[in-house]
Structure 1
Amino acid sequence: MSPAAAPRVSVRLPGHRQMALGLARQRLAIGILVFIAFTGLLGFRLIELSLFDGPVQRARPAVANPNIRAEIVDRNGVTLASSFEAYALAARPRDIMGNKEALIAALIRILPERPPEAIRSAIYHDGKFRYITRRILPEQAEAIRRLGEPGLTLEREAERLYPHVGLAAHLVGYTGIDGRGEGGIERAFEQRLTDPAQLEKPLALALDVRVQQALESELKAQMDLQQASGAAGVVMDVHSGEVLALASLPAFDSNRPGGLVGMPSHMNRATLGVYELGSTFKAFTIAMAMDTGVLPRMDERFPTTPIAVGRQRISDSHPKGYPLTVPETLIYSSNVATAKMAERMGRQRQEAFLRQLGMMDRAPGELLETGRPLTPAPNNWGLASVLTIGFGHGIAVTPLHLATAYSALVNGGIYRPATFLKVPEGAERPGRRVFQESTSHALNGMLRLAVLDGTGRQADADGYRVGGKTGTAEKVLEHGRGYDKRRNITTFAGAFPMDNPRYVVIAMVDDPTVGSRMAGSVAGPVFKKVVNRIAPVLGVAPDTSGASEPDIRMFEGLYKPRDPKRDPNAMRRAAAGLPPLEGGVR
């Protein structure tokens, strides 16, 4: 037999079986490790995608969906803010597969309102995710979808729409990019507006869009005419405290509020800005003095010759040259006579009344943008402060403070804080008595006379029996010491109808620069035009006969009517077919 044909003999070396088993175990261990590593990488990637490749997540209190919000409506159900379904377009630059320049050109055609550079920046962004634009139309979204670019993402999200654009912008507010309220009612009622249980129930405001539009348009017209830096106004129901309109100019578009912080249009001048509102405070001083008993008689006369207090000199802008009665003090707006009344009252009683009128606290109401009044420091509230506060200097408040206090002054003496929410019909809000009813009645007559015969003549809206007081105050210098004699805050605070006051209207124009800079000719006409426009809407009928004029017989002989035929008592007698009273006045 040849060696080649010899059979093969398998030789098993010692330990061979153990080596084979060890090799198998090693391969199995490597396989398990590879599987674990792959699973771990996959999990890590999923976490990374959820945390970093989607829209930026902000640490916020958990809510169902901050972009879904309840509607905001006015007192008559007119929509002021609502949510709607929109699309947001985002780019994932690393996932773009096509030609970027061609993609940019296509997006520019589809989104003509978007700046081309903003689109280019998003497409070439170094990160993993970048919004190109929010709130695009459904047809634009469909055109983008047809591009078939996997590096573009279309997301459905709820957006906030303000159909009246900038109307009542400071009151209604706006939402930020994350859908949360950033101002006004939107911010103040964030929890209510995003509560899933109340999404179907609109939040009803006290505001009336018809009154709001009238107030804003008349303030804007006067602000432009006077080339003023700003304006503000309030319309309030004197019995419920409901704010039917609140304006702050310049305003902004609530749909596009970007870049507001630090801009003049951002600040709510009606609730946040504080101003020295001048002679509008004289009505309060007279009412305080009457209630405290330091003015026992209406016929008491006060000298009008200038007085010196320390380094200050108090004088009248238009001195009459003779002592004035109590009603004449308000009608002719005497600083000196009012200061004398404040001196009799003293600091403690003055401060107590101001506190009762809310003048020592932040502006009332539900908004969070509220200003704190500026008053003298407790250790510096001396005689000079008492006198100047008496005629509206040395104390700075918001127009909303003034509206709420005037409501208490004319409604019979009851203070009710302002509210921006609609008060249910028949409900009565609690209040506190600040003035006696007889004092309120007397001030209503004086305020009517101030319009008929005093500094407020340009505010008289024929037939609507308006009353009110002008206020012209020099602006405080920017460094905070002293006053700028070239710059004024002009205000008119009034109510109508004075035979039974229902509404207070405040009109303020900040820093008029054209023509007269006095409140009577700047803010007074705004008040008149606003009343003429809103009175019919609010159901206040005009009366040119004089039969509805307030009864001011208590002032007979205490003032001299500019036109005897315009004297309210004479008008009432004529309307009733009675002969005029014999004798004159004063």
Structure 2
Amino acid sequence: MNTLVVRPARVRTAGVRQQILLTAQQRLMILMLLFMAAFFLVSVRLVYFALFDTGSGRGQGASTFVPARADIVDRNGVPLARTIDGYSIRVVPEKLLNDRNYLADELVKIFPDTSRAEFLAKLNGPRPTYIRRRALPDQVAAVNAIGDVGFDFPREKERLYPQLSLAAHVLGFTNAEGHGVTGVEGAFDKRLIDDATRADPLALSIDARVQGVLESELGNAVTNLEALGGAGIILDVHTGEVLAMTSLPTYNPNKLLGSDPATRRNAVTYNLYELGSTFKPLTVAAAIDAGTVTSMARRYDATEPLAIAGFRIRDSHPSRRWLNVPETLIHSSNITTARIADELGRENMEKLFRDLAFDGRPEINISERAFPLWPKDWGRLTTMTTSYGHGIAVTPLHLANAYATLVNGGIYRPATLTKLGDKAPPKGRRVFKAATSARMRQLLRLIVSDGTGKQAEAPGFRVGGKTGSAEKPGVGGYRRSSVVATFAAAFPMDNPRYVVVAMIDEPKGNAYSSGQRTAGWTAAPVVRKVVTRAGPMLGVYPDESRDVDVSELTPLLWRNGEDQ
């Protein structure tokens, strides 16, 4: 038997193997060429954008990188207002599958702040309408869970205020169309939406940390004193920049629906008050400037009420003696201030108030600004009563601007809510002589160290200021039971940098204030707490080795038991 051995045929010859390798190399070369071409095109595109697309250098090259509305930030870059993509809930009635009554019942469970009848009207309406704008994620999920195709959830640009109610009256809010209505949002609406500027945040003068301190301390006082509300402001005396501004009660601009519209009123710039004895230092300064007061030692009769034009001007805490100028302010005498104003005369008093812009809306860059209540008749009685803050009504911002002028060397500058940065402050105009301003710093310091403002003393911060407790006008005269308590202050008085004004509307005399309603017991402590907490944030640190030199004035102060 023969065995046949078969030799297997070769699968590939050497020539075939070489051809396969050559083909693979050619394909690899093609891939490399394609990759290089793509890389070249991308590189050329990038170079083009770098050289020719000027908008991209400011973040405007692609719409996704440019906000629909510019952010608003505080002076340190902390975001106060931003635009985000939010959810809305809309109903398209013609697409609804479920019974409208059932849907209305379900919607009321999700949105108890809206009536069933209102939902039914929207569900039965002729055209698509919004169930809720600015809906929360859990609300969107709940409506989606109803399972009706007639609901849709469009993504829309939404204005978010990440600090909630912080600086609400400064910021204001936007409407459903995304335009500013009040505050900075309203005043700077064009700048915030303009294509050329909206990529850059709008930096405010506000310091969010200091704002928080002011809101916290004033809010605690308003609550504990069972007051109607309050107003507060911190102002840079040299630049006019507002570091903090608060109005109470406040609101959350994220949740306007259902909030009380009255809470949106800015008490600092839009409410008018007779601010009482806080005007007395202004009167004294004008009298010093005019040469009416030439000596701090001169005494004025305060032994009994001052009768004028059928009225009697009284002191709330009568001294029943003759008072000199420092004592007039320390004891807050209406009688002697009125006597100084009477000598100063109508023209000089009216000029003082006009120079301080009390005859117009407060100067600041928002729209919510009230026109003061200016006296119709500038007779002798009006000249006297306005000297101690009655018969003329202004905003707390008017007062803050006036005190900044009083202590900064005598220069009036308008307030601003935008950060100046490297810009020079406005030149301003002179209202008081520099020497008069220096004298007033001494007198304001004495009021805190020795007078009605003792509760404002913050050790080491050299606070100076003046109390004001004014009865509110009503039908038939002033209401003794309703008081506006104000403390206007500056610190540090040896080199003033900031003005602080705290006002409380109708505080109750209770255990919190030792039964007192006046500013020395209600508003002054707020200033002390604010200065102690916010001073270091503003670069002012306590230093008990420094103070205003008042050595020439202290011998003039009468001490109980001394000869008058």
> Does TM, scored on the shorter chain, surpass 0.5?
yes
C-alpha displacement of 1:155? 2.1
Correspondence 1:555 to 2:553: yes
Mapping of residues 327-366 of structure 1, within 5 Å = 327-366=326-365
Structure 2 equivalent of residue 504 of structure 1? 499
**Counterpart code for 2:288:** M
| Higher mean C-alpha deviation, range 69-78 or range 172-181 | 172-181
**Counterpart code for 2:434:** E
Judging changes above 3 Å, is the alpha-carbon distance between structure 1 residues 341 and 139 closer, same or farther for their aligned structure 2 residues?
closer
Deviations 1:206-230 (A, max 9, x none): 1111111111111111111111111
**Counterpart code for 2:286:** M
**Residues in 1 aligned to 2:203 and 2:559: alpha-carbon distance in whole angstroms:** 46
Judging changes above 3 Å, is the alpha-carbon distance between structure 1 residues 348 and 89 closer, same or farther for their aligned structure 2 residues?
same
**Residues in 2 aligned to 1:405 and 1:437: alpha-carbon distance in whole angstroms:** 15
Structure 1 equivalent of residue 20 of structure 2? none
Structure 1 equivalent of residue 484 of structure 2? 489
Structure 2 equivalent of residue 136 of structure 1? 135
C-alpha displacement of 1:376? 0.8
**Residues in 2 aligned to 1:486 and 1:555: alpha-carbon distance in whole angstroms:** 36
C-alpha displacement of 1:105? 7.1
C-alpha displacement of 1:131? 1.0
Structure 2 equivalent of residue 273 of structure 1? 271
Structure 1 equivalent of residue 293 of structure 2? 295
Q: Secondary structure at the match of 1:328?
A: helix
C-alpha displacement of 1:178? 2.5
**Preserved contact between residue 339 and residue 384 of structure 2 (Cα < 8 Å):** yes
**Counterpart code for 1:510:** D
Deviations 1:176-235 (A, max 9, x none): 222221211111111111112211111111111111111111111111111111110110
| Higher mean C-alpha deviation, range 424-433 or range 506-515 | 424-433
Mapping of residues 169-568 of structure 1, within 5 Å = 169-259=168-258, 263-304=261-302, 305-377=304-376, 380-425=377-422, 427-477=424-474, 479=475, 481-514=476-509, 515-544=515-544, 547-560=545-558
**Residues in 2 aligned to 1:192 and 1:385: alpha-carbon distance in whole angstroms:** 44
C-alpha displacement of 1:69? 1.4
Q: Secondary structure at the match of 2:496?
A: coil
**Residues in 1 aligned to 2:473 and 2:145: alpha-carbon distance in whole angstroms:** 61
| Higher mean C-alpha deviation, range 417-426 or range 212-221 | 417-426
Structure 2 equivalent of residue 11 of structure 1? none
Q: Secondary structure at the match of 2:328?
A: helix
**Preserved contact between residue 108 and residue 116 of structure 2 (Cα < 8 Å):** no
**Preserved contact between residue 101 and residue 120 of structure 2 (Cα < 8 Å):** no
Q: Secondary structure at the match of 2:516?
A: coil
**Residues in 2 aligned to 1:115 and 1:321: alpha-carbon distance in whole angstroms:** 63
Name stretches of at least 5 consecutive residues in structure 2 with no aligned partner: 1-62, 510-514
**Preserved contact between residue 407 and residue 438 of structure 2 (Cα < 8 Å):** yes
Q: Secondary structure at the match of 2:383?
A: helix
**Preserved contact between residue 122 and residue 131 of structure 1 (Cα < 8 Å):** no
C-alpha displacement of 1:117? 2.7
Judging changes above 3 Å, is the alpha-carbon distance between structure 1 residues 482 and 256 closer, same or farther for their aligned structure 2 residues?
same
Structure 2 equivalent of residue 157 of structure 1? 156
**Preserved contact between residue 108 and residue 116 of structure 1 (Cα < 8 Å):** yes
**Residues in 2 aligned to 1:174 and 1:476: alpha-carbon distance in whole angstroms:** 32
**Counterpart code for 2:531:** V
**Residues in 1 aligned to 2:219 and 2:334: alpha-carbon distance in whole angstroms:** 30
C-alpha displacement of 1:126? 2.9
C-alpha displacement of 1:321? 2.4
Judging changes above 3 Å, is the alpha-carbon distance between structure 1 residues 338 and 80 closer, same or farther for their aligned structure 2 residues?
same
Q: Secondary structure at the match of 1:265?
A: helix
**Preserved contact between residue 104 and residue 123 of structure 1 (Cα < 8 Å):** no
C-alpha displacement of 1:357? 0.6
**Residues in 2 aligned to 1:121 and 1:237: alpha-carbon distance in whole angstroms:** 54
**Residues in 2 aligned to 1:255 and 1:118: alpha-carbon distance in whole angstroms:** 25
**Residues in 2 aligned to 1:550 and 1:336: alpha-carbon distance in whole angstroms:** 28
Deviations 1:15-37 (A, max 9, x none): xxxxxxxxxxxxxxxxxxxxxxx
C-alpha displacement of 1:104? 5.7
Mapping of residues 34-73 of structure 1, within 5 Å = 68-73=68-73
Judging changes above 3 Å, is the alpha-carbon distance between structure 1 residues 281 and 103 closer, same or farther for their aligned structure 2 residues?
closer
Equivalent residue pairs, number: 495
**Residues in 1 aligned to 2:249 and 2:281: alpha-carbon distance in whole angstroms:** 29
C-alpha displacement of 1:108? 7.1
**Residues in 1 aligned to 2:549 and 2:424: alpha-carbon distance in whole angstroms:** 30
User: Identity of aligned pairs, percent?
Assistant: 46
**Preserved contact between residue 410 and residue 431 of structure 2 (Cα < 8 Å):** yes
Judging changes above 3 Å, is the alpha-carbon distance between structure 1 residues 146 and 505 closer, same or farther for their aligned structure 2 residues?
closer
**Residues in 1 aligned to 2:106 and 2:391: alpha-carbon distance in whole angstroms:** 62
Q: Secondary structure at the match of 1:196?
A: coil
**Preserved contact between residue 108 and residue 119 of structure 1 (Cα < 8 Å):** no
Deviations 1:75-126 (A, max 9, x none): 11111111100122211212324554665677678x5677583784256323
Q: Secondary structure at the match of 1:553?
A: coil
TM-score for the superposition, normalised by structure 1: 0.80
**Residues in 2 aligned to 1:181 and 1:416: alpha-carbon distance in whole angstroms:** 27
C-alpha displacement of 1:414? 0.5
C-alpha displacement of 1:298? 1.5
**Preserved contact between residue 107 and residue 119 of structure 2 (Cα < 8 Å):** no
Name stretches of at least 5 consecutive residues in structure 1 with no aligned partner: 1-63, 563-583
**Preserved contact between residue 91 and residue 122 of structure 1 (Cα < 8 Å):** no
Deviations 1:154-179 (A, max 9, x none): 32210011111111111111112222
Judging changes above 3 Å, is the alpha-carbon distance between structure 1 residues 321 and 193 closer, same or farther for their aligned structure 2 residues?
same
C-alpha displacement of 1:68? 2.8
Structure 1 equivalent of residue 83 of structure 2? 83
**Residues in 2 aligned to 1:255 and 1:376: alpha-carbon distance in whole angstroms:** 40
Structure 2 equivalent of residue 46 of structure 1? none
Judging changes above 3 Å, is the alpha-carbon distance between structure 1 residues 146 and 299 closer, same or farther for their aligned structure 2 residues?
closer
**Residues in 1 aligned to 2:201 and 2:120: alpha-carbon distance in whole angstroms:** 40
Q: What RMSD over aligned residues (CA atoms) do the two structures have, in Å?
A: 2.6
**Preserved contact between residue 135 and residue 159 of structure 1 (Cα < 8 Å):** yes
Q: Secondary structure at the match of 1:264?
A: helix
Deviations 1:326-376 (A, max 9, x none): 111111111111111101111111111111111111011011111111121
**Preserved contact between residue 288 and residue 436 of structure 2 (Cα < 8 Å):** yes
**Preserved contact between residue 114 and residue 133 of structure 1 (Cα < 8 Å):** no
**Residues in 1 aligned to 2:507 and 2:137: alpha-carbon distance in whole angstroms:** 47
C-alpha displacement of 1:422? 0.6
